[in-house]
Chain A
Amino acid sequence: MRVVEAIEISSSPEGVWEHLADPARYLHFMSGFTRWEVVSDEPTGEGARYRMLMRVGSAEVGGLVEVVEWSEPRELAWNSITGIDQRGRWRLRERVPGRTRVELRLAYGIAGAGIFGVIAERLAAPTVRGHLRRTLQQLKRHVEHDQLRKSAAARREARASSRPA
């Protein structure tokens, strides 16, 4: 099953990437996720591994995932190593300067689970979609709030430096 959600964020791709590249921030904006833990020596970049769990219905599902693509600030993709089969991807594109379209894709399932697997994937889709949508909304809030804070700090600094000593 493949679920895709997208949102426009008032920020440069670099501003969004700053949040996506930091695994310590994930639980602040990833809705429904109960764990996003670094388990590799390198916390970021291709080959970084995380243990992640998302609450869906009666279980927290997920497993060990590995980053398989890290193209700053455009693409970040991961594949599952253990747990349910999954492929996830963050895709950032700047449509107009200062506005970034962020797409979050998640394909998931359990190979060999048969008809029950198909039914479970479809029944879980609305919950997963809801988690992804809220994740993007929370990411947007975080990034835009961060941008506002940074521009306010820059303005304060500019004011302070223009004042006569």
Chain B
Amino acid sequence: MAESPTAQRASRNGHESGERVDASLLRRVARSIAGQVQSRIPTADLDERDPDYIRESLPRQWLLASLWFRAEVRGLGNVPERGPVLLVGNHSGGNITPDTAVFTLAFCAYFGVERAFYQLAHNLVLSMPGLGFLRKFGTVAASPENARRALDSGAALLVYPGGDHEVHRPVWERHKVNFAGRKGFVRLALDQDVPIVPVVAVGGQETALFLSRGESLSKLLRLDKTFRLKVLPISLALPWGLNVGDMLGHVPLPAKITIEALPPIHLREEFGPEPDVDEVYDHVTRLMQDTLDALASERRFPIIG
């Protein structure tokens, strides 16, 4: 039997579909919302990226990055000039991730909007009303298939392996790279035979007072099952005060953001013809942690930088 369009879309975006319907009313409501969300996740159409739109948005992003975040991006010369490349970043800032906006501006200004550049984002981000413009920037739902498709097209692809686990880490862990053991990016780089460029950012986790990931709360509410949400973050953020879930986003504090792109890692050249995934993972995360430590040591004050 043919799958419904929703199920097809869900499948394309890397989801399991067709879990058994639960009897409880609460679960049925949750499942109904999840279905709505799934149906809103756009198909990963790489053609939706719109260079003209990005170009016309650069001044707005430049104002935000330069005035609000006083951002500084270093080492873009390390990104290979041509060809597919996997940019691996540490993720910060809750559901409003200033690092991505700053890096997208820097990348597009440096290489030109003509160079295809995609970013993987959590399904919920792409299904949120009002965030459809992200697709024009080249944001696609995070799934191995979409990642492969982007790299196959010869594009630069930005991924955050730490995902929701890392982005909602408490503020006292702000200077820690935490990919939670997710090694999919290494396998992706090996399968596609593309170099990895680590992109390390500091400052994003000071844009709100992140208190807890709320993993237990998420499990209790079964959000991990219904929305693939393993966290329900709790923070103190503008304008809400106590912010549970960060679903509506928040006004980020004007923390100074510094981002550094490191030299590319050509896996087979550096680790042999059959690299060990764990070894590569350890190498990349260690390198990123060392860089993050160095960037953190440059900061004299929180937020001010």
Are A82 and B73 closer than 8 Å at their CB atoms? no
**Interface size, B (range):** 20 to 34
- Supposing A110-B55, A110-B58, A121-B59 touch, asked if A59 and B105 sit within 8 A by C-beta, the answer is yes
Complex interface: chain A residues within 8 A of B52 (CB):
112
Question: Which 8 A-B pairs give the minimum distances between C-beta atoms?
Answer: A57-B66, A120-B59, A58-B65, A59-B109, A58-B71, A116-B60, A58-B66, A117-B59
Chain A interface residues toward B at CB < 8 A:
53, 56-64, 82-84, 110, 112-114, 116-117, 119-121, 123-124
Complex interface: chain B residues within 8 A of A58 (CB):
62, 65-66, 69-73, 102, 105-106
Among B67, B106, B112, B114, contact of A59 (Cβ-Cβ < 8 Å): B106
Question: How many Å lie between the Cα of A61 and that of B52 in the bound state?
Answer: 16
Among B60, B62, B114, contact of A57 (Cβ-Cβ < 8 Å): B62
- Tell me if B63 counts as interface (CB < 8 A to partner A): yes
Are B112 and A113 closer than 8 Å at their CB atoms? no
Question: How many Å lie between the Cα of A114 and that of B63 in the bound state?
Answer: 13
- Tell me if B86 counts as interface (CB < 8 A to partner A): no
- Tell me if B76 counts as interface (CB < 8 A to partner A): yes
Is chain A's binding surface mostly helix, strand, loop or mixed?
A: mixed
Question: How many Å lie between the Cα of A119 and that of B67 in the bound state?
Answer: 12
Question: How many Å lie between the Cα of A119 and that of B58 in the bound state?
Answer: 12
In the complex, the chain B residue whose C-beta lies closest to that of A109 is B59
Question: How many Å lie between the Cα of A58 and that of B70 in the bound state?
Answer: 7
30 A-B residue pairings within 8 Å (CB atoms): A56-B62, A57-B65, A57-B66, A58-B65, A58-B66, A58-B69, A58-B73, A59-B58, A59-B110, A60-B76, A60-B106, A61-B62, A63-B112, A82-B114, A83-B109, A83-B112, A84-B58, A110-B56, A113-B57, A113-B58, A114-B56, A116-B59, A116-B63, A117-B56, A119-B59, A119-B63, A120-B63, A121-B59, A123-B63, A123-B66
Question: How many Å lie between the Cα of A53 and that of B112 in the bound state?
Answer: 11
- B25, chain A: closest CB distance, angstroms: 47
Question: How many Å lie between the Cα of A123 and that of B58 in the bound state?
Answer: 14
Question: How many Å lie between the Cα of A56 and that of B71 in the bound state?
Answer: 11
Complex interface: chain B residues within 8 A of A83 (CB):
109, 112
- B122, chain A: closest CB distance, angstroms: 25
In the complex, the chain B residue whose C-beta lies closest to that of A53 is B110
Are B59 and A64 closer than 8 Å at their CB atoms? no
Complex interface: chain A residues within 8 A of B67 (CB):
57, 123
- A116, chain B: closest CB distance, angstroms: 4
Are A60 and B110 closer than 8 Å at their CB atoms? yes
Complex interface: chain B residues within 8 A of A123 (CB):
63, 66-67
Are B60 and A59 closer than 8 Å at their CB atoms? no
